């Protein structure tokens, strides 16, 4: 039982049969066709030799098949983490002479350890602090940067930078060096891919393919343009006319090895590695959940951390770059019929075969073609609707999204992610530090209490019922005190305050001190201080202190009972009072 949690592969291996095998095999062939150009392209996007992408697409997939819980997630290099890898390598390369491949391996290893550690400590929930709207905004902004960064390959010029202003400036500065043959190749590839995106599937259907098969085959369009432009480059000798090719790729696989140890460099790469891990994990888990929901398969967030962690450690040992679960490939994997993680293992075998047999052909692949596949892929991720959606919903969500996008576009991905996390948390804390406080009254004929400003309710001049809509903790405790004291000043007839604690989920030590001081002040003013509807866990902590014994009032089970008791008490007091007739509740 427990072994199956650590090795989820045991479950699917046990039930494996011929039907699963053939389904998985078909899916793996289609995914391999998608993966190979993507792997090469994303390695180049990360500023690495193309073959590094292939190395990151073999062992990581196999290891994920052992440790991962999603049956259809396709792990490998993806656009966003490759961009972040590029930014991280550029960041350290400016200070010292750094071998990019070694740096990528360090990033993958650190990511792998970080993710595995989180998984072993069951800290998967930490990923929740990167909110979904912030991730959407970040992906849109990064995709724009990625697409723009690829235009240099379409134009055949040099350009650099990991933010919009730098990219635009260097592109504009060098645009006069545009190479004609590169531009033609790149444009053709771009046009074909955009065309294929919309019209390839209908065309295939017209050729009597079923809708499903046509849809799958259309996804392999990049392979077609890869083959066509490679052949053209080879036959026409386009490299001599300035067309940049992927070039010689070493045949076979390198031996497993650890990145070179250099403490200063590893330390410099630690924060980027953590950011890559978090972004990789958050997007992978959302892909996994989305696909899992379609087939009613559950994924385990903590085990996913271990699966992705192990994949990244393997990516490093294999000489690759950080990997994660990519949306497009995983969706194709599912659509193509993958039923278990074996499909990933077969895909890995497919990629291995390519590295042993087809490197000679890949050498003629124009970089412009790969750039075109990246541009078309990432532009599909650009989605500004999150801006409008969050604007319509709440200002704080909008601020977090807008800030993340702006910083990512104008400064860079790393600061963009950090701003996203920090601004979300800061805005949340800001809101909880100034909580909503409502005066409540009883809705006639019920035992239900609501805001006096929103509902027709019954109140009593000698009793003030307040509901604070937040836990009481250090950031807002004195806010409550100020509010109550302000209210007291305005009401001369006040004899009782009832704090309705339905929304108080915690009272920390700072807040307890404030409540004690409030109790003390109210006692001096001869106003009783009562609580109602205190929750179990909160009551448990209060019982540990002398607050309840010193409370100048009572703790009521419900607000209804509080008001009933206090009103009766007032009536009784007034009957004993000489001016009984004047008394009004």
Q: How far is the CB of 354 from its own copies (least distance, A)?
A: 38
For its own copies, the binding residue among 26, 253, 415, 503 (CB under 8 A) is 503
C-beta of residue 397 within 8 angstroms of C-beta of residue 390: yes
Instruction: From 47-55, 123-131, 313-321, 366-374, give the range in contact with its own copies by CB under 8 A.
Output: 123-131
- Of positions 262, 406, 519, 545, contacts its own copies by CB under 8 A: 545
Query: Residue 283: enclosing H or E segment and its boundaries?
Result: helix 270-294
| Binding flag, residue 580, its own copies (CB under 8 A) | no
Give the nearest distance from C-beta 521 to its own copies in angstroms. 7
Q: Which of 29, 151, 513, 555 binds its own copies (CB under 8 A)?
A: 513
The SS3 of residue 545 is coil
Which one, 253 or 503, has the nearer CB to its own copies?
503
Q: Dihedral sign, CA of 144, 195, 151, 315?
A: positive
Burial class (CB in 10 A: 0-12, 13-18, 19+), 114: buried
CA distance 129 to 421: 6
Residues 542 and 534: their CA atoms lie apart, in Å, by 10
Nearer of residues 170 and 451 to its own copies, judged by Cβ: 451
State whether the Cα torsion 535-541-544-550 is positive or negative: negative
DSSP β-bridge partners for residue 23: none
Residue 251 or 394: the one with the smaller Cβ distance to its own copies is 394
How many Cβ atoms from other residues are within 10 Å of residue 349's Cβ? Answer: 16
Cα 119 → chain centroid: 16
Q: Based on CB atoms, which residue is closest to its own copies, 491 or 560? A: 560
Can residue 508 be called a binding residue for its own copies (CB under 8 A)? yes
Strands, DSSP E only, in 372-471? 437-443, 449-451, 457-458, 463-468
Please measure the distance between the N-terminal and C-terminal CA atoms of the chain and give it in whole angstroms: 65
CA gap 246, 189 in Å, rounded: 15
215 or 459: whose CB is closer to its own copies? 459
Q: Closest separation between CB of residue 117 and its own copies, Å?
A: 17
The window from 82-90, 324-332, 338-346, 512-520 that contacts its own copies (CB under 8 A) reads 512-520
Q: Which stretch binds its own copies (CB under 8 A): 225-233, 329-337, 426-434, 573-581?
A: 426-434
CB of 36 to its own copies, least distance (A): 34
The C-alpha atoms of residue 499 and residue 494 are separated, in whole angstroms, by 14
Tell me the window of 104-112, 190-198, 334-342, 434-442 that interacts with its own copies (CB under 8 A): 434-442
Site size for its own copies (CB under 8 A): 68
- Interaction residues for its own copies, span 472-501 (CB under 8 A): 473-479
What does the binding site for its own copies look like in residue numbers (CB under 8 A)?
Answer: 125, 128-134, 293, 389-390, 392-394, 396-397, 424-425, 428-429, 431-436, 438, 443, 446-448, 450-451, 453-454, 469-471, 473-479, 502-506, 508-510, 512-513, 517, 521, 533, 535-537, 541, 544-545, 557-558, 560-561
């Amino acid at each position: 039982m427990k072994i199956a949690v650590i090795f989820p592969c045991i479950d699917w291996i046990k039930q494996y049969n011929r039907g699963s095998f053939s389904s998985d095999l078909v899916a793996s062939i289609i995914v391999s066709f998608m993966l190979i150009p993507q792997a090469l392209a994303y390695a180049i996007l990360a500023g690495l030799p193309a073959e590094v992408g292939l190395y990151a697409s073999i062992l990581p997939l196999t290891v994920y098949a052992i440790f991962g819980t999603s049956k259809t997630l396709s792990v490998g290099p993806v656009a966003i983490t490759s961009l972040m890898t590029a930014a991280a390598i550029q960041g350290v390369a400016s200070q010292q002479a750094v071998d990019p491949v070694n740096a990528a391996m360090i990033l993958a290893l650190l990511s792998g350890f970080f993710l595995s550690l989180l998984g072993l400590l069951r800290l998967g929930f930490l990923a929740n602090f990167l909110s979904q709207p912030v991730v959407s905004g970040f992906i849109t902004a990064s995709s724009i940067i990625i697409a723009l960064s690829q235009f240099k390959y379409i134009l055949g010029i040099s350009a650099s930078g990991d933010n919009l202003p730098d990219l635009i400036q260097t592109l504009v500065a060098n645009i006069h060096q545009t190479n004609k043959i590169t531009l033609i190749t790149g444009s053709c590839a771009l046009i074909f891919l955009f065309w294929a995106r919309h019209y390839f599937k209908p065309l295939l259907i017209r050729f009597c393919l079923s809708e499903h098969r046509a849809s799958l085959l259309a996804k392999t369009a990049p392979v077609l343009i890869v083959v066509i432009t490679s052949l053209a480059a080879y036959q026409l000798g386009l490299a001599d006319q300035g067309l940049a090719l992927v070039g010689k790729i070493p045949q076979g696989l390198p031996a497993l090895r650890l990145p070179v140890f250099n403490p200063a460099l590893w330390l410099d790469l630690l924060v980027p590695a953590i950011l890559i891990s978090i972004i990789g994990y958050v997007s992978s888990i959302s892909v996994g959940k989305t696909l899992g929901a379609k087939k009613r398969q559950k994924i385990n967030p903590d085990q996913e951390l271990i699966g992705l962690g192990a994949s990244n450690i393997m990516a490093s040992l294999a000489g690759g770059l950080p990997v994660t679960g990519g949306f497009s490939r995983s969706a194709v994997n599912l659509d193509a019929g993958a039923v278990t993680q074996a499909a990933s293992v077969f895909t890995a075998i497919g990629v291995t075969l390519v590295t042993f047999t087809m490197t000679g052909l890949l050498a003629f692949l124009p970089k412009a073609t790969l750039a075109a596949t990246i541009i078309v892929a990432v532009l599909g991720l650009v989605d500004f609707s999150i801006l409008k959606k969050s604007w319509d919903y709440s200002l704080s969500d909008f601020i977090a999204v807008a800030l993340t996008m702006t910083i990512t576009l104008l400064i860079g991905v790393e600061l963009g992610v950090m701003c996203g996390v920090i601004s979300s948390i800061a805005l949340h804390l800001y809101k909880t530090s100034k909580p909503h406080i409502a005066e409540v009254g009883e809705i006639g004929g019920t035992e239900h209490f609501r805001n006096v400003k929103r509902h027709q309710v019954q109140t009593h001049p000698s009793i003030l019922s307040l509901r604070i809509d937040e836990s009481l903790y250090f950031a807002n405790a004195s806010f409550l005190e100020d509010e109550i004291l302000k209210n007291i000043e305005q009401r001369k007839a006040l004899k009782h305050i009832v704090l309705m604690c339905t929304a108080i989920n915690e009272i920390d030590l700072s807040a307890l001190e404030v409540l004690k001081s409030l109790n003390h002040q109210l006692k001096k003013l001869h106003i009783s201080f009562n609580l109602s509807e205190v929750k179990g866990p909160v009551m448990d902590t209060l019982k540990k202190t002398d607050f309840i014994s010193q409370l100048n009032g009572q703790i009521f089970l419900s607000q209804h009972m509080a008001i009933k008791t206090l009103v009766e008490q007032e009536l009784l007091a007034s009957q004993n009072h000489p001016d009984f007739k004047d008394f009004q509740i």
